[in-house]
Structure 1
Amino acid sequence: MRFKVGDKIKFLDEVGGGTVISVIDHRMVKVETDDGFEMPVMTSNLILDYRSGQHDDAQSKASHPAALFSEAVVPEKPAITEINPWGKVKDAPGVYLAFEPHEQQWILTGNLDVILINNSEYDLLFSLFLLQDDEMRGVDFSSIPAHSKMVLENITRDEISNWTTGAIQLLFHADEPKKIYMPAHINIEIKANRFFKEGSYVQSSMLRGKSLLVNLISMQALTVASDQEAVRKYNSEMAAQQSVVKKEKPFISKYQTNVGEAIVDLHIAELVDNIAGMSSHDMFELQMNMFTKTLKSAMENEYEKITFIHGVGNGVLKNAIIKALGDYEGLENKMASIIKFGVGAIDIIIKTKSN
């Protein structure tokens, strides 16, 4: 409950009462007791003395009707303050809903401030809906400046259930935005038992005290309707791609010896640094894979001849290569130069359309 200067009050935890003579902040007021003493008191320890209030109000109406009219027509402004004027905000940019207990020493008792936090560089327009009496009701709508927070309500523990289910709609505005975001709709679902566990209340760089903090949405999770930086970057990248067209070198080029010619050595020592743990079958499969990969690359890039050095051995690899060539069209094979390679190499002649 919010008190104002002149309110007649009673103490909850002791006999007696007094009058509010000044408002220290939304949690504490200074009271002049009926005995004439002045003392600061937490608002959670006070209630209005309605009987005295009715009498005083009646007198006030008779003696100061203009002042009463003025008070009735001027609405109370919501409490909007900077998120963290005393330090650096470390929490991720976004929008948060916080429930901050008045009694920080006895965090599971007393009233709570319901605070909407706009931790972003945009002005925030919001519309808040809560499920009350099995019906969704629009309970508040307003705007919060960038890097600011608004106290939406001061609630008792009995009123917590009214704030556990609802929805909020958000709209972000800036005069010169780096990004334009789509409006956001977030459903609010908070388990009521969280309010009665001390571990639910955490310290945040956005508030002075501990609070039950709900991250409604982060700025990264918002849908971008227009990203000026991304558009400029994309246009720059496209221009660079158009001016310099990079073509990836074909696999066969590392074995090229002359224009349209290549030599590939299939000796296992040329393919791997260490054959430890490899079986004869593993080595054979590796050699055939290299044969297939280089031959395919040579054909795709219109090479005319590729020489495979298979070694002498028992002819297994050579015979496998000759057999595999039967799966291709437009190829001829012959023994490679004995003077240059001995009897352990084979030439593959690739007949292109231009040949």
Structure 2
Amino acid sequence: MKFKLGDFVRFVDEKREGYVTKIIDAQTLGVTDEDGFEIPVAVSNLTSVHGHGVSVEEVDAPKPIQVNVPMLSKTENGIYLAVANDNKAGNVVHFHLQNQTASVVLLTLTTERKDKYAGTFYGVIESFNSSLVYSASLADLDIWPEFSFQILLFTKADVKPVAPLTIRKKFRAKDFSTEIKDLPGLNKKGWLIRLDEQAPIIDAQKLKESFFKSSEEKKKTVDVPQKEIDLHIEKLRDDHHFLAADEMLIIQLAHFQNALDAAIVHHFEKIVFIHGSGNGTLRDKIHKIISKNPHIKTYMDAKKEKFSYGATEVVFK
């Protein structure tokens, strides 16, 4: 039996199920179970679970009449990649290409890793519809391939044809550092990434005016931070259970940097960052950034009787 990425499978010799998240070789697949662990399994020890989820095609199901009516959603028209969390396997994510336009999308997806290419998906996605194009484990984010989307839009309407789109995307931890949200049309939570967005047009006059803003005007655009900034991940994100360690660190450092910059803008005398003790990684990163900042006079452990060694006090010049 031939399996593909995203198939939901069951183990033959034990009571366990999961998603195919890696093609190891012709005889072995990586299957991520409901606990989020990816297990190498022989193809001969797997069987498909028919009728489960979106990765299995319905047989003999009546085809709905296609009507080009936009979904009731606040999503702006465009072409999106919806990366959805799996409800059963915590580390697994499913990539859905969402066609939020009045045109039909002809799509190919090719993946590339270390100069080796694989055709992963091709198909037609009707107007205001979506299709599952890929599945993977978030735990393997650092070894994900680079994605190459080739998109052609077709319509019978009397409009000028849109040039074909080629989008190359290498996913990083920062792509999943934002809060997960409800995905339109999927009844799932995850991240929505627009693929056809054009680069913003820079207004030269507004750019020029921004250089001459007074310091008081600039202050108004930066919120005044708290005197004590708690960087524990559970204080910053409700979905921290789904995040890998490197993703948490990126979020914590971004929050730290924003608060530090805001304290400088508002001429703080000092500020305290609560980073916890832990393994010391966050503390070391913060101290490295602080030591190179020209606006900082000194820094030290903050109130050991209150924070032990889990906080740093920064004193500005």
For the aligned pair, the TM-score class normalised by the smaller chain equals: 0.3 to 0.5
Task: Kindly indicate which of the two structures has a greater share of residues assigned to helix.
Answer: 1
Q: TM-score, normalised on structure 2? A: 0.41
Structure 1 or 2, whichever has the larger Rg, is 1
